[in-house]
Amino acid sequence: MAKVLCVLYDDPVDGYPRSYARDAVPRIERYHDGQTTPTPERIDFAPGELLGSVSGELGLRRFLEERGHAFVVTSDKDGPDSVFERELPDAAIVISQPFWPAYLTAERIAKAPALKLAVTAGIGSDHVDLAAAIERGITVAEVTYSNSISVSEHVVMMILSLVRNYIPSYQWVVKGGWNIADCVARSYDLEGMQVGTVAAGRIGSAVLRRLKPFEVGLHYTDRHRLPEEVERELGVTFHPDAESLVRVCDVVTINAPLHPDTEHLFDDALIAKMKRGAYIVNTARGKICDRDAIARALESGQLAGYAGDVWFPQPAPRDHPWRSMPHHGMTPHVSGSSLAAQARYAAGVREILECWFDGRPIREEYLIVDRGTLAGAGAHSYSPGDATGGSDEAARFKDRGPTSGSA
């Protein structure tokens, strides 16, 4: 018997849904590059249900308990007295989400001698200290591509929201106003602008494909250059580094994984090299941007807007400056957790666990760390090292206001 410890976000404040706005979500069998969507032997949920919260349990309880495993689900993940901290020492498997990450630091890994597998329900495993996982021989896996398109759609939405000044215009309606001049004084057309992505992997390239019809100039930088035929198809210009890209772009979208090479990439110095009045959209990881540098750039007018749904830590403390800085379009980390995405990443977690318990190989594209080394998607996207931490700071969110902390 194995103990499976799963950290998920809280249920809705009004309780777990009894019904949904739509009866179903579209069924997708393959992604753009031909990779198949998750293929577990079975699922015990209806696609379109809220699976990523505590009561949703990723649809795993029946599966795990039928096999004799213990299954602990909680949202209480931060601080020394959290449920996660108490349950971790004898857990063999930890499942977490990027949206509500259980930070598996080196210190926590040292307290978990039974830990063999860390699974990210979604994509992005930077909340795991990969260096410590490599040293301990812990397997790290994520459900690659499961919510990449969900995130890319969110990026396009946020770009348009910033450039067209959508959020303040909506707020005038809510307040009962009709203040057209106030709405359009910061509203521009995206048409004709230069838009660039930092990283052009699954999410970044999907953003480029979706932006091409907007008749903008497209740019990208990535340590893996796209094939020449793809560059021609998209009409995209390659830049050798982020500095070269940001100098020419009106809008920059960040779609890179977080690792020591990208941590705090967007600092005061890099932002100063951007066009005055440029926009940044960051749905990758909050720590790729220097928190205070972003706030300063919005205050000074160097940036016209900043939007995203990634913070550091997560959840963000209630006094996090990104909550109150001007001209922002921030949301909680929701871009990759649409109900359609949840169906895929829950099925992917089930597939990974079926393989693990049955002694079958986990898909290569799902692997981040395997047998003491970066592997699969991890070898392509990450650098060895540590960009974790944050649990103590995230605990301030809980300390300063009520959360359900369900277990």
Chain segment 179-236, per-residue pLDDT in tens: 999 999 999 999 999 999 999 999 999 999 999 999 999 999 999 999 999 999 999 9
Asked if the model's pLDDT at residue 54 lies above 60, the reply is yes
Helix (H, G, I), strand (E, B) or coil at 9: strand
Asked if the model's pLDDT at residue 59 lies above 80, the reply is yes
What would the mean pLDDT of 304-312 be, rounded to a whole number?
96
Question: Which of 147, 255, 282, 342 does the annotation list as catalytic?
Answer: 147
Q: What residues pair up with 403 in beta bridges, in sequence order?
A: none
Strands 367-370, 139-142: pairing is antiparallel
391 CB burial (10 A radius; 0-12, 13-18, 19+)? buried
Q: How confident is residue 10, by pLDDT bands cut at 50, 70 and 90?
A: very high
Active-site residue 282, yes or no? no
Amino acid 385: pLDDT: 59
Nearest by Cα to 101 from 116, 81, 123, 80: 123
Amino acid 384: pLDDT: 62
Q: How confident is residue 396, by pLDDT bands cut at 50, 70 and 90?
A: low
**DSSP codes joined into one string, 156-173:** HHHHHHHHTTHHHHHHHH
Amino acid 371: pLDDT: 85
Q: What is the number of residues in the chain?
A: 407
Amino acid 260: pLDDT: 84
DSSP assignment letter at 59: G
Active-site residue 209, yes or no? no
Amino acid 326: pLDDT: 98
The pLDDT mean for the chain works out to 94
Pairwise CA distance, residues 55 & 6, whole Å:
12
**Distances in whole angstroms, Cα of residue 352 to Cα of each of 121, 321, 329, 330:** 10, 38, 35, 32
What would the mean pLDDT of 121-146 be, rounded to a whole number?
95
What would the mean pLDDT of 330-348 be, rounded to a whole number?
98
What would the mean pLDDT of 336-352 be, rounded to a whole number?
98
Asked if the model's pLDDT at residue 407 lies above 50, the reply is no
Strands 303-308, 236-238: pairing is unpaired
Helix (H, G, I), strand (E, B) or coil at 311: coil
Of residues 166 and 402, more confidently modeled: 166
Question: Which of 97, 255, 314, 342 does the annotation list as catalytic?
Answer: 314
Question: Which of 333, 344, 350, 363 does the annotation list as catalytic?
Answer: 333
Asked if the model's pLDDT at residue 350 lies above 80, the reply is yes
| Domains contained in the chain, CATH given | 3-146+337-375+382-399 (3.40.50.720), 148-330 (3.40.50.720)
What would the mean pLDDT of 272-276 be, rounded to a whole number?
98
Q: How confident is residue 404, by pLDDT bands cut at 50, 70 and 90?
A: very low
Q: What residues pair up with 236 in beta bridges, in sequence order?
A: 218
The pTM for the full model equals 0.92
Amino acid 392: pLDDT: 55
Amino acid 382: pLDDT: 78
Helical ranges in 202-290 per DSSP H: 202-211, 228-234, 242-246, 268-272
What would the mean pLDDT of 74-84 be, rounded to a whole number?
95
What would the mean pLDDT of 71-87 be, rounded to a whole number?
96
Is the separation of the CB atoms in 110 and 89 below 8 Å?
Answer: no
Nearest by Cα to 276 from 253, 298, 243: 298
Pairwise CA distance, residues 89 & 112, whole Å:
4
Active-site residue 247, yes or no? no
H or E stretch covering 63: helix 61-66
Active-site residue 147, yes or no? yes
What would the mean pLDDT of 346-373 be, rounded to a whole number?
96
Question: Which of 127, 219, 285, 344 does the annotation list as catalytic?
Answer: 285
